[in-house]
Amino acid sequence: MLIRIATRRSRLAVIQTDLVIKKLKNFFPHINCEIVPVITTGDRITDKNLYDIGGKALFLKELEEKLLTGEVDLAIHSLKDVPGILPVGLEIAAVLEREDPRDCLVSYKYKSLNELPNGAIIGTSSVRRKVILQKIRPDLKIIPCRGNIQTRLDKLSSDNAPDAIILACGGLKRLGIFDEKHCFPLTVDTMIPSAGQGTIAIEKRSDDQKMADICKEINHLPSWYLSQAEREFLVYFDASCKTPIAAHAEYIDESIIKARYMYGDFEGNCLEFHTETGDKICGKEIAIKAAEIIEAKKY
């Protein structure tokens, strides 16, 4: 049996796809997998902020088109790039075990946000990271920083380099370039991660029962429950890339999760936070409850 798998061409995307294939072959040794690399609109346009050109969905568009036309059977994504509401006919079928979901300060000069001097320059193109940084350190100068991980790291060594940039720990670790001398994870209390951060997602056509049965076998349920509690928050607000929104769930024992949420406006003038706890199988209900409470605070 041949499974055709669409993925972006970046080094991280290929590594993540290889992890999915390895997992598939562990369960189904007879399966053959064909990688179909795709250059997405988000990969091609690197000189503009995502929120000005269509958001993170631009990293999925071409992959999802190949799914819908039947050119491929599965598509692999970083779950943090997947909008809450998917195109009709597609669904997330499984996730792999979550990597470190935290954000990370990367700097060759300083070891923490507190060490950054007044007026320090920090690079990020994430609205979520930008408004949280402004809340913590309103003196910082935030500049756009796009491109793949290595491209953004290279900017730290370039002329007029920023003092620091913010990246996801999970990507650095999967690439094998997490350096404890220059990479400093931020606690989830300091900076709530993006929903699904650190998680690899497998997308399929909703009517493909064969792929549903296969994906069910490799789905990492503990991570799946966490992702449900995070992503339903996105679904509720159907937020755009201009909306600062965050959701992070974690286990406090084997069956109970604690979920932190944030929602705000583009300027960061109004940020609302809420934390909920509940049974792991009730992630969607937890997220909806938190969203309703936050929405009530807005008015």
| 67-100-28 Cα angle (round to 5) | 45
Distance CA 73, CA 206 (A): 11
Structure tokens at 69: 């036309």
- DSSP H helices in the chain: 11-27, 41-44, 50-53, 61-68, 127-136, 149-154, 169-174, 209-218, 221-237, 283-297
In the chain, helix, strand, coil percent, each to 5?
35, 25, 40
268 sits in the region (left: phi over 0; alpha: psi -120 to 50; else beta) called left
Catalytic residue among 18, 52, 73, 81: 81
Q: Is 81 a catalytic residue?
A: yes
Distance CA 155, CA 171 (A): 17
DSSP secondary structure of 52-81: HHT-GGGGTHHHHHHHHTTS-SEEEEEGGG
Cβ pair 12, 148 in contact under 8 A = yes
Q: Which residue has the tokens 């199988």?
A: 281
Q: Which helix (H) or strand (E) holds 273?
A: strand 271-279
C-alpha closest to that of 121 among 167, 161, 158: 161
Active site residues: 81
